[in-house]
Amino acid sequence: MANMTVNLKVWRQAGPKEKGEFRTYTVETDTDTSFLETLDILNEQLVNNHEEPIAFDHDCREGICGMCSLYINGHPHGPATGATTCQLYMRRFKDGETITVEPWRSAAFPVIKDLMVNRNAFDQIQQAGGYVSFNCGGAQDANCLPISKVNADMAMDSATCIGCGACVAACKNGSAMLFVSAKVSQFALLPQGQVERKRRARAMVKKMDELGFGNCTNTGACEAECPKCIKISNIARLNREFIKAKCSD
Amino acid sequence: MATIDTEKVKVMNPADSKIPEGPIAEKWTNYKAHQKLVNPANKRRLTVIVVGTGLAGASAASTLAEMGFNVLNFCIQDSPRRAHSIAAQGGINAAKNYQNDGDSVYRLFYDTVKGGDYRAREANVYRLAEVSNNIIDQCVAQGVPFAREYGGLLANRSFGGAQVSRTFYAKGQTGQQLLLGAYSSLNRQINLGKVKSFNRYEMHDVVMVDGRARGIIAKNLVTGKFERFSAHAVVIATGGYGNAYFLSTNAMGCNCSAAMACYRKGAYFANPSYVQIHPTCIPVHGDQQSKLTLMSESLRNDGRIWVPKDIEDAKKLQRGEIKGSDIPEERRDYYLERRYPAFGNLVPRDVASRAAKERCDKGFGVNNTGLAVFLDFSEAINRLGIDVVRQRYGNLFDMYEEITDVNPGEKGNEINGTVYYNPMMIFPAIHYTMGGIWVDYELQTSLKGLFAIGECNFSDHGANRLGASALMQGLADGYFVLPYTIQNYLSDQITVPCPGTDTPEFDEAEKKCVEAQNALLKIQGKRSVDSIHKELGHIMWEYVGMGRTKEGLTIALDKLKALRKEFETNLYVPGSAEGMNNELDKAFRLKDFITMGELVAYDALNRNESCGGHFREEYQTEEGEAKRDDENYFYVACWDYQGSDEKAPELIKEPLHYEAIKVQTRNYKS
């Protein structure tokens, strides 16, 4: 462990309609402290100086809830690959470094306050079709439905998406294709998802378009920045699913 | 000093727990056969509030909506999918016996009661084991991608406290997949208009009208406004109170404020001293740490827990002069395998945690603070190869490396032809709370129309929860129990219109919330919320943690009283009541954590025995095992609020009655 001092250049914005600006703060931390704990230290300083602390989303701090966001030095979830902001430790940065911290920037994710954005659009896309229409109580025995391990594992990889929005933040078009394709893929790969396969692809894509997300131009930034390493091949599958569904309209 | 007046202790009428007639295996069937139902046309006229969107909350909300009820569903996060159930790693138990290893509903029931150190309510646990199989069927039908064998059937693994493999899993992300399954069902109902979802809302009070729960006051965390919601019944599914200890494996937002609001309105709080300390967490590293990270119990399938045999080796480790992989096999003490040959590394969590504490107290800790033991994969890697081990636990190894900068799968040293790999360092941490709001067999609290499900009730785990049973209980309550039992209550509410929110009861409740908020903003002292919360955590861990004594608990109660005073006079909350104010929201939660901490201490002081997660150092065997006192403490301790946080709560006992299982001393040795 080594002590270190960093300058945090943080986006401050009082509300959705207010004008925002960067403000720089100096914080003493150490290499074994996480990035969010460093923000905690900064907030403690601000509170002790009777200043308004920085609002940011976070919850589980284990990289699974998808609540934390932050665009750090130009990368969603910062410089580490395959990790969320809450799993980022200060040993990734240099002593004395100035670190730029911004909220997700996308038309579909308006800023609520400081670094906190509204990701309700993701919920709305899921509500449009991200499920198997099935009522509790009517299921057959689970082992009556053998599923090939290969498909089950692939479905699991797609289902690993934590819905954080890094893909949208990383995309120059603000596209939500990686997020949507992960859910569509999970069900397309499993027998349970077959009955509503076409309806699902149509409904989720339609909702995504309605909510102001951009189009996919295959730059691959989403895959590179995804904290759960969701593959861009999911997008290829979504395109196939969508075209097949539209052709059968 | 605050003490419990034993003269005042009441004993609950056995009828109050509403346990159905008949042999244990027929109780739930009998109940369902005779309970009252609500017909489809009437379901449309009834509204239910569900607070919380974890496994219990989301599954209850979606299932009630599928049945036809109108549901209002609340969560404090930005989306229902963020609830902390999502972080459960290891798995979910069910008595499917797919592995043909002798499992059955009875055996899951028995293991759960025994694992809970004979302090759970038998009838509830049997029902839990009974519906466990339905949960797996339900989740597979939803498209939950459980791990499978090459033949396409479901895979299983073992967890602590069991000698069968009954745990279903989805990599190390089982909680995530189960929660996303429940969330998908919830989304379908939101889309159909049957569930109204309120995100970034926090419940502040339950509103009672004519002695029944009829609504809640919830704060919109974005606008800062208190809002009123009414319904025919209120269900709370708001999780446990582990964050009273500040450092825990809970998410940062996990809190017990909704449960405390119910408690202050008169809902009994049961067995608060039963707090689970999970044996395999990453040790504390510094003062700035905000939470502790769990390493899944599934690691104990292949990982072996040890400390050095020789105190000199331990001292060298503590000084950083040698590494774990420098110590050969013959100088290692695999203390769980030594003490508990039959269950070995897979003893229940309370047993494993105490054994780690015992070794560290004796000076055998392996890191610079002396508060850590090793979890070692050398034997598994040498037996199975690194690829197989990484396939099983790779994501956990990576998570460990990200936090500690040490890779547990990395080759360390070769001594006398044996290769030793870097072990993990682990230490126990607060993880789960078995205690919670008291509920009867119907999951109704002592307040009419108020129900509690999931971790926030007390009913199924006794004094200790077995691994992979939290997910089972949350989903059992939400999918298969509450949607039935709540109808027994709602059936006579069909002619009652949903109350308006412009009534004196709602006025009064909202007024109190506003007053409490103004009081917090007015203190204008010197200390931040977190600084007081950390102090609370230190008191709780030191005196109300893994080893408790009468003396320590008495000190804790005094210190907590002083801490409340400090909170009330020296807290500083920046900003105003307008708009978003996270510090203000945290202050509300902290106030409740202090009261909760006292409740844990009162209960721990009252329970003059050791059982499960509650270990009183005065009550142990010569071998250091927990010593129960079934003659005097074979009861559920229910605490009744006395109108003020300053006053000691009163104790009401619910005597336990075991019909199916013979109560005996837990034995994991043979």
CB contact under 8 A, B141 and A44: no
pLDDT, chain A, mean: 97
Average pLDDT, stretch B552-570? 98
Residue B118 domain flag: no
Chain B residues with CB-CB distance to A67 below 8 A: 77-78, 82
Chain B residues with CB-CB distance to A149 below 8 A: 148-150, 152
User: Are B283 and B419 found together in one domain?
Assistant: yes
Q: Please state the φ and ψ torsions of residue B437, each to the nearest 5 degrees.
A: -60, 130
Average pLDDT, stretch A191-209? 97
Query: A170 CA to chain B: closest CA distance, Å?
Result: 20
pLDDT at B5: 66
pLDDT per residue as tens digits for the range A37-57:
999 999 999 999 999 999 999
Angstrom distance (rounded) from CA B53 to CA A72: 30
Residue B293 domain flag: yes
User: Are B525 and B398 found together in one domain?
Assistant: no
Residue B527 domain flag: yes
Task: Give the CATH number of the domain where residue B316 resides.
Answer: 3.90.700.10
User: Are B301 and B408 found together in one domain?
Assistant: yes
DSSP B584: H
pLDDT at A244: 96
Q: Give the number of domains in chain A.
A: 2
pLDDT at B402: 86
pLDDT per residue as tens digits for the range B404-448:
889 998 999 999 999 999 999 999 999 999 999 999 999 999 999
Task: Tell me the residue type at B589.
Answer: R
User: Are B518 and B394 found together in one domain?
Assistant: no
Last residue of a domain, one of A66, A96, A113: A113
Nearest to B140 among A36, A82, A145 (CB): A145
Q: Please state the φ and ψ torsions of residue B450, each to the nearest 5 degrees.
A: -110, 125
Q: What is the percent of chain A with per-residue pLDDT over 70, rounded to a whole number?
A: 100
Average pLDDT, stretch B654-670? 91
pLDDT at B7: 67
The answer on pLDDT for A1 being more than 90 is no
Q: Is the pTM higher than 0.95?
A: yes
| Joined tokens for residue B36 | 């009252």
pLDDT per residue as tens digits for the range A53-91:
999 999 999 999 999 999 999 999 999 999 999 999 999
User: Are A27 and A143 found together in one domain?
Assistant: no
Q: Give the number of domains in chain B.
A: 2
User: Are A154 and A236 found together in one domain?
Assistant: yes
User: Are A138 and A99 found together in one domain?
Assistant: no
Chain A residues with CB-CB distance to B222 below 8 A: 112
The answer on pLDDT for B670 being more than 80 is no
The answer on pLDDT for B8 being more than 90 is no
CB contact under 8 A, B78 and A58: no
The answer on pLDDT for B177 being more than 50 is yes
pLDDT at B160: 82
User: Are B284 and B419 found together in one domain?
Assistant: yes
User: Are B424 and B538 found together in one domain?
Assistant: no
pLDDT per residue as tens digits for the range B196-221:
999 999 999 999 999 999 999 999 99
pLDDT per residue as tens digits for the range B50-65:
999 999 999 999 999 9
Task: Tell me the residue type at B450.
Answer: L
pLDDT at B105: 98
Angstrom distance (rounded) from CA B198 to CA B435: 27
Q: Residue B344: CB partners within 8 Å, gap ≥ 6?
A: B336, B337
pLDDT per residue as tens digits for the range A213-243:
999 999 999 999 999 999 999 999 999 999 9
- Which one has a higher pLDDT value, B15 or B335? B335
Nearest to B252 among A59, A120, A142 (CB): A59
Any idea how long chain A is? Answer: 249
The answer on pLDDT for A134 being more than 60 is yes
Task: Give the CATH number of the domain where residue A162 resides.
Answer: 1.10.1060.10
Q: In what order do the strands lie in the sheet with A98-102?
A: A21-30, A3-12, A98-102, A71-72, A75-76
Domain that holds residue B321: 279-429
Average pLDDT, stretch A116-137? 97
pLDDT at B150: 96
Chain A residues with CB-CB distance to B149 below 8 A: 149
User: Are A72 and A129 found together in one domain?
Assistant: no
The answer on pLDDT for B2 being more than 60 is no
User: Are A19 and A85 found together in one domain?
Assistant: yes
If you write DSSP's letter for every residue of B124-180 in order, what string do you get?
HHHHHHHHHHHHHHHHHHHT----B-TTSSBP-B--TT-SS--EE-STT-HHHHHHH
CA dist B67 → B94, B199, B441 (Å): 25, 23, 21
Average pLDDT, stretch B121-132? 98
User: Are A130 and A82 found together in one domain?
Assistant: no
pLDDT per residue as tens digits for the range A152-163:
999 999 999 999
pLDDT, chain B, mean: 95
- Which one has a higher pLDDT value, B6 or B128? B128
Angstrom distance (rounded) from CA A166 to CA A69: 7
pLDDT at A169: 98
Nearest to B528 among A38, A48, A64 (CB): A48
Average pLDDT, stretch B267-289? 93
User: Are A123 and A241 found together in one domain?
Assistant: yes
Angstrom distance (rounded) from CA B157 to CA B155: 7
Last residue of a domain, one of B429, B462, B485: B429
Task: Give the CATH number of the domain where residue A18 resides.
Answer: 3.10.20.30
Task: Give the CATH number of the domain where residue B601 resides.
Answer: 1.20.58.100
User: Are A65 and A88 found together in one domain?
Assistant: yes
CB contact under 8 A, B77 and A52: no
Average pLDDT, stretch B573-579? 95
The answer on pLDDT for B1 being more than 50 is no
CB contact under 8 A, B145 and A155: yes
Domain that holds residue A222: 119-247
User: Are A90 and A158 found together in one domain?
Assistant: no
Q: Please state the φ and ψ torsions of residue B619, each to the nearest 5 degrees.
A: -115, 85
CB contact under 8 A, A192 and B252: no
Q: How many CB atoms lie within 10 A of CB B526?
A: 12
Residue B17 domain flag: no
Nearest-Cα residue of chain A relative to residue B294: A62
DSSP B623: T
User: Are B416 and B508 found together in one domain?
Assistant: no
